[in-house]
Structure 1
């Protein structure tokens, strides 16, 4: 085993200013569906912390039953990345949190000003923001996503069987998993999947990198799973040289996040292994090799922190959601 390929997952990612109070506020905002136009979709709707940090769907469902074009990445261990979203269009967790709020197929707000009005209309939120950020007018979109990011930095899953193996406990993983690890290295998976989160991330100062996917457009699996219709990073930059470039996903807890790939069209981890081997490495895996790879990947499931559901603040006797327009009911904005 190449010691540079695999590193134990850090046990903390807190930044200066990540106080317990800010983290708790961020948790409330993460779970609050009232930050969506219809009051039905929260961050947790697509990044379910009761399971794999995703939603188990090929593509996520937002307000009014609308669906987007991409699979929701897990929020567990998302701090161990140099960019967010499949196309890397957000550099930080805070920047990422801004996007879904105003995406028409996600949370559907007309703008961040509507998000802030919604929060301001809940008195306990107003008091909480002022206590935490220590300023008048503390309810800003920047402070809101700062709090969400502080909470998301606590969403890490260290102490997996593989972490214990890396720490020297040779009995922590099975012989079959070790064969899978060795195969993972020998066929070239570690070109893109190394480091603590197995996504080539090595630290907070990393420059975001993107990888061609699929490399081999002639693989029969490319058409089967429609792997080329999404142009990836080119949709962000407009540069043809960025066509089909994607961020390398975290492999921690990969057993919990089916379906797979940016479009969510690959139904199982076994098939995902075959897709990646064929399209990226020009390898045709035998069934036993797939089984060994899955045995290795299963050791990456870590210890999940205990999370209690927050008690969300309310507004006494009045909804904060815009009323449905009727002839006798003029809509107003919150």
Structure 2
């Protein structure tokens, strides 16, 4: 057992070294690319290239099917899609709370808490997998699971159809949008169309990337520099600033041993694959609108953004950052809050 623990520590250090090496190569590559691109001067002589960055701006516009989106929005808010009309999708995905619900664990039907913290529904189209354990590759299958889950919606499709058929407006809307009218497939299609429309472009950091010299303060730009320099960018990059890979929780030290109170949900992707290598492996969350979606992590254990940063740097990077650096990174992360339908979140 002692040899096994030693081997695991060695593996963690090798993993960490590879992670930092990869991040360093990424930064060098991007710096090389950006040397051929124009840069802008930020107040106090801080400069950053607006192209070649590891984070990309959310597109300002996307193609949508308006009739489907409109119908999907109505369904998203309707408690008829749950047992005994107790919950709607909106119950756990409040737009005033960044597409989450502000709880460590959401309260499903009959007051039963969910097994994990509810991820934001915003910008879901940019995630490569869904759920913390990455079980689902598309929103339609994900909806199927949530509908039947006794801790979430707890309803089967035949019952949902019967409930919606009692509303003449729904029958009319489905007949208008779909040739075969009100069916489980069409309910899911409308909801998926709506969820795919829930994008939040025009964050201040997006405007900065697109050339607005005044979008960020010098302190926020310094926070972004620290975010990259400390290796956070190796897992949180791309359009969604995450959501595009799996990573173990506790690379440099054992987060779960320190926290205690292990639950089945803590096994992460292992629950899907039953592969030992996937134990405690989770989909990296998006950091879009992260200032609004506390508490953090799959277990909702971090109550503040600063606490989440400290935990990440300790268990993922093996270092303790000074309080001022944590505060600086938090300032940068708050610039990732975007707009929905032209209004700030």
Confirm or deny a common fold (TM above 0.5).
yes
Structure showing the higher helix proportion among its residues = 2
Contact 2:126 2:243 in 1 (8 A): no
Aligned residue among 108, 113, 126 for 2:171: 126
Is the CA contact 1:23–1:151 (under 8 Å) kept in the aligned structure 2? yes
Please, which of 257, 276, 290 is the counterpart of residue 293 of structure 2? 257
- Partners of 1:12 and 1:153 in 2: CA distance: 12
Q: Write the mapping of 1:233-272 to structure 2, written as runs, cut at 5 A.
A: 233-272=269-308
- Aligned to 1:224, which of 249, 259, 263? 259
1:199 & 1:121 partners in 2: Cα distance? 42
Distance 1:227 1:4 in 2: 38
Contact (CA 8 Å) 2:128, 2:243: kept in 1 or not?
A: no
Match of 1:285 among 321, 325, 330: 321
- In 1, Cα distance between the equivalents of 2:316 and 2:71? 42
**Deviation readout 1:253-307 (Å, 9 max, x if unpaired):** 1000000000111111100001110111112011000110011001101112269
Deviations along 1:71-107, one digit per CA (max 9) or x if unpaired, are 0001111111111111111111222222221110111
Query: What SS class does the counterpart of residue 164 from structure 1 fall into?
Result: helix
Structure 2, unmatched stretches of 5+, are: 1-26, 31-51
RMSD, matched Cα? 1.9
Question: Which residue does the alignment assign to 1:195?
Answer: 238
Q: Does 1:5 align with 2:54?
A: yes
Q: Which moved more, 1:30-39 or 1:96-105?
A: 96-105
Range moving further from structure 2, 267-276 or 166-175: 166-175
* Counterpart position of 2:108: 62
TM-score scaled by structure 1? Answer: 0.83
From the superposition, tell whether residues 113 and 240 of structure 1 become closer, same or farther in structure 2 (CA, over 3 Å).
farther
Say whether the 8 Å CA contact 1:78–1:250 is kept in structure 2: no
Quickly say closer, same or farther: Cα 1:226–1:282, change in 2 above 3 A: farther
CA distance in 1, matches of 2:239, 2:167: 40
Mapped contact 1:234–1:244 kept (Cα < 8 A):
yes
For the residue of structure 2 that corresponds to 1:165, the secondary structure is helix
What is residue 95 of structure 1 aligned with on the other side?
141
Equivalent residues of 1:251, 1:300 under 8 A apart: yes
Change (3 A) 1:250 1:285: same
Instruction: State the TM-score, normalizing by the size of structure 2.
Output: 0.80
> Aligned residue for 1:170?
213
- Structure 1 residue 227 displacement after superposition: 7.5
